[in-house]
Amino acid sequence: MNTFLVLHIVTITPCLVIGPFILFRIKGDRFHKILGRTWATLMLISCILSFGVRSEENLTWLHGLAAFTIYQLLKGICNARNHNMNGHRRNMVGSYIRSLVAFIFTLQPTRFIGGQLFKLFGF
């Protein structure tokens, strides 16, 4: 299995789990900031690693989504530092939603992870 894929899975999985905790709890306290920094760091690393996950050297629309997510994450971090909480919220919620969209599309049987899961469960 591709090393980039393994590292991508290792970094994106906690993002998918941590995301709802950040979204649905009190904002601005110390725990939110710690979880948020952890989540944003893992998301940035995961998005960068995604460029090493490809078949036949081709990039897909999912890589475009990863590039846009990197931009939005960095913009969200700047918004938080500049105390623009509405912009920060939009950027971070959008980044989480994009990660969910990418996750759903990777489960297709024609994609590597989806194909492996379909084989594992006998479909």
pLDDT in tens, 3-12: 988 999 999 9
pLDDT at residue 119, as a whole number: 84
Spatial distance between the Cα atoms of 107 and 95, rounded to a whole number of angstroms:
19
Of 110 and 68, which is predicted with more confidence?
68
The predicted-structure confidence for 22-31, as pLDDT tens digits, reads as follows: 999 999 999 9
| Spatial contact of 88 and 94, defined as CB atoms under 8 Å apart | no
Domain boundaries, the chain: 3-120
Residues sharing a CB contact under 8 Å with residue 5, sequence separation 6 or more, in sequence order: 52, 53, 112, 113
Residues sharing a CB contact under 8 Å with residue 114, sequence separation 6 or more, in sequence order: 106, 107, 108
Phi-psi map region of 28: left, alpha, beta (phi>0 left; psi -120 to 50 alpha): left
| Spatial contact of 98 and 68, defined as CB atoms under 8 Å apart | yes
Percent of the chain surpassing pLDDT 70:
99
The predicted-structure confidence for 58-101, as pLDDT tens digits, reads as follows: 888 899 999 999 999 999 999 999 999 999 999 999 999 999 99
Residues sharing a CB contact under 8 Å with residue 75, sequence separation 6 or more, in sequence order: 87, 91
Spatial distance between the Cα atoms of 92 and 115, rounded to a whole number of angstroms:
30
Examine the pLDDT at 57 and tell me if it is beyond 80. no
Global pTM value: 0.88
pLDDT at residue 50, as a whole number: 92
